[in-house]
Amino acid sequence: MTVSPAKLRWALWVGLATVVVWGANFALMKSVYSVATPAGYLFARYLVLSACAVGLLVWRYGTRWPKPARADLINLAKLGLLGHTVHVSMVNFGVHWSTAFSSSLILACGPVFTLIILRWSGIEVLRPTQVAGVGVARSAFCCFCRKSCSRAVGQQPGAICFCWWRAACSRTTPWPASR
């Protein structure tokens, strides 16, 4: 299957636009943090996001929304609580406490955090390539963000990095025995 040059150009422009919007997000968040706390920003964000979700559901289905299976609802509730309470809150406070460069690295780790959350919930089984990917991401994160981490937790970035790595592997590799 060959793709036309016009479609490739369109894909490139869409990708570049996504990068620009994603990058502009940092400036927007930092400017909002000058007038609101990260918790206030998250509250407003969830209100707007919920209103958009309801609007889309009403637009698409009217008042007859699809009913997910009970097992899916339970998993969605668990993942939503864990993902939004832990991951998104950590990212937002990390953006607030760090530089723009560190913030971009924190957000670039989003897929890794998602993988860790799915692993903890028992939905995802880590393959060796995923464990290696988490290790590379952890190493880069610790290398580039060590100063920000040190300020936030009192000179212990190595401990944070180790815990992050162990969290990713906790269901595939047993914790070291305590002495």
**What distance separates the 2 farthest-apart alpha carbons in the chain?**
63
- Nearest residue to 165 (alpha-carbon basis) of 105, 125, 124, 115: 115
Q: How far apart are the first and last CA of the chain?
A: 59
Rounded to whole angstroms, how far apart are CA atoms 138 and 77? 28
**Would you give the DSSP letter of residue 87?**
I
Sorted by sequence, the CB contacts under 8 Å of residue 166 that are 6+ apart come out as 175
Q: Which helix (H) or strand (E) holds 105?
A: helix 100-108
CB 136 within 8 A of CB 129: no
Rounded to whole angstroms, how far apart are CA atoms 157 and 21? 30
Rounded to whole angstroms, how far apart are CA atoms 92 and 80? 16
Mean pLDDT per segment of 10 residues, for the chain of length 179 residues? 86 87 79 87 88 94 90 83 75 75 68 75 78 76 62 48 50 41
C-alpha torsion 93→95→99→102, nearest 10: 110
pLDDT value of position 175: 38
pLDDT value of position 144: 66
pLDDT value of position 77: 84
pLDDT value of position 106: 66
pLDDT value of position 52: 94
pLDDT value of position 51: 95
pLDDT value of position 170: 46
Q: Which helix (H) or strand (E) holds 139?
A: helix 128-153
pLDDT value of position 31: 83
